Amino acid sequence: MSNKQLILLAVVLIIILIGAEVMWSARSVTSTQPVTTAAPTHVDPPTPEVVAQLQKSHGFQYLISITDDGFQPAVQTIKKGETIRWTNNSSHQVSINGTGNPTPADCTDVMFDTCTPLIHNAFYEHTFTTTGTVHYSDMLNAQHTGTIQIN
| Total domains, the chain | 1
Domain that holds residue 70: 60-150
90: domain CATH number? 2.60.40.420
| pLDDT tens figures, 21-77 | 777 666 655 555 666 666 666 777 877 877 776 776 767 899 999 999 999 999 999
Q: Residue 19: pLDDT above 70? A: yes
Contacting residues for 136 by C-beta, under 8 A, at least 6 apart: 96, 97, 98, 99, 100, 112, 145, 146, 147, 148
**Is 87 a member of any domain?**
yes
